[in-house]
Chains A and B, each alone.
Chain A
């Protein structure tokens, strides 16, 4: 009997609680967007350790603030000459973009909006692009943008790609020779020309959109 009474009391309580949470829509709708997970969560232990060190050097800034401030849609883009794309991506059947060693493939990338905007602005009447306009928009020398290009775009959030602040030891880092250099690496998440950048680890070719820029 004791057991039955207890079961009845518990049953009534749970019904009451159930009514309180569902009746009349008293459950307030959650209007705030959940904070997206840090992209560093998608990194392996090696990249997490590098990211931790980079964030400590950049403190109180860090990769999460950098992404929130400069990459709010978590979409990145980068440019390659068409010939480099053909030789090192197409002809090799590369799985990932970037410079690959035993640990990973390393790729510098900028906010998609900035790259797409600069490319759009550089379009000429004959359907090609003006290297000078593109260079000026991205804070890099115009000569780097001569000839046909490829523009790549990748959604880091959707594809869960490991991303961190770039560091001096990353493959491909162009060391500044003089303070006036505008196409070399400076720690802190921005190119020496002022464009935001991140280091993307193992950017998959299959999930990347590639556009021709004549």
Chain B
């Protein structure tokens, strides 16, 4: 986890990370009175959109994930130590 690079940290409570293998993922705080993080690995299309649009794209992606945290089965709840 510590080898990840934080590419973007948003006040909308999400961050975009470059993982050890170079893939991008987004970690989003979801929930209302109980907030926790879920992580979604970006697919090729999303990665390309992020590289092209930057924050505008990641804002939209984060909002889509907060609106539907399972995100079609693609999200993983961030486990804690």
Which A residues have a C-beta under 8 Å from some C-beta of B?
78-84, 87-88, 92, 94, 98-101, 105, 108-110, 115, 138, 140, 143-148, 166, 171-175, 177, 183, 185, 191, 195, 197
Tell me, yes or no, whether B23 is within 8 Å of chain A by CB: no
**Quick one: which of B12, B27, B66 contacts A100, CB cutoff 8 A?**
B12
Assess whether B36 is in contact with A81, with CB atoms less than 8 Å apart. Answer: yes
Q: Please, which residues of chain B bring their CB within 8 A of the CB of A87? A: 15, 27, 37
- Complex Cα spacing A100 to B11, Å: 5
**Quick one: which of A84, A94, A195 contacts B33, CB cutoff 8 A?**
A195
Other contacts beyond A83-B78, A174-B32: 15, CB < 8 A? A80-B29, A80-B35, A82-B80, A84-B13, A84-B37, A99-B12, A105-B11, A109-B33, A138-B33, A166-B32, A172-B31, A172-B32, A175-B68, A177-B68, A195-B33
User: How far, in Å, is A56 (CB) from chain B's closest CB?
Assistant: 22
Indicate whether A174 sits within 8 Å of B68 (C-beta atoms), given known contacts A109-B33, A185-B32, A191-B32. yes
- The size class of the interface chain B forms with chain A is 20 to 34
**Quick one: which of B29, B34, B63 contacts A145, CB cutoff 8 A?**
B34
Select the residue from A79, A109, A145 with max chain B CB neighbours within 10 A.
A79
- Complex Cα spacing A15 to B66, Å: 69
Assess whether A115 is in contact with B33, with CB atoms less than 8 Å apart. Answer: yes
- Interface residues of A, dominant DSSP: mixed
Assess whether A83 is in contact with B37, with CB atoms less than 8 Å apart. Answer: yes
Closest Cβ neighbor of B77 among chain A residues: A143
Binary contact readout B22-52 vs A (1 if CB under 8 angstroms, 0 otherwise): 0000010111111111000000000000000
Tell me, yes or no, whether B79 is within 8 Å of chain A by CB: yes
Q: Please, which residues of chain B bring their CB within 8 A of the CB of A101? A: 11-12
Which B residues have a C-beta under 8 Å from some C-beta of A?
9, 11-13, 15, 27, 29-37, 63, 66-69, 77-81
Q: Please, which residues of chain A bring their CB within 8 A of the CB of B36? A: 80-81, 84, 144
Assess whether B29 is in contact with A88, with CB atoms less than 8 Å apart. Answer: yes
- Complex Cα spacing A191 to B33, Å: 9
Assess whether B66 is in contact with A81, with CB atoms less than 8 Å apart. Answer: no
A-B contact pairs, 28 of them (CB 8 A): A79-B35, A80-B34, A80-B36, A81-B80, A83-B37, A83-B78, A84-B35, A84-B36, A88-B9, A88-B13, A99-B13, A99-B66, A100-B12, A101-B11, A108-B31, A110-B33, A144-B36, A145-B34, A147-B81, A171-B12, A172-B13, A173-B67, A174-B30, A174-B66, A174-B68, A183-B31, A197-B32, A197-B33
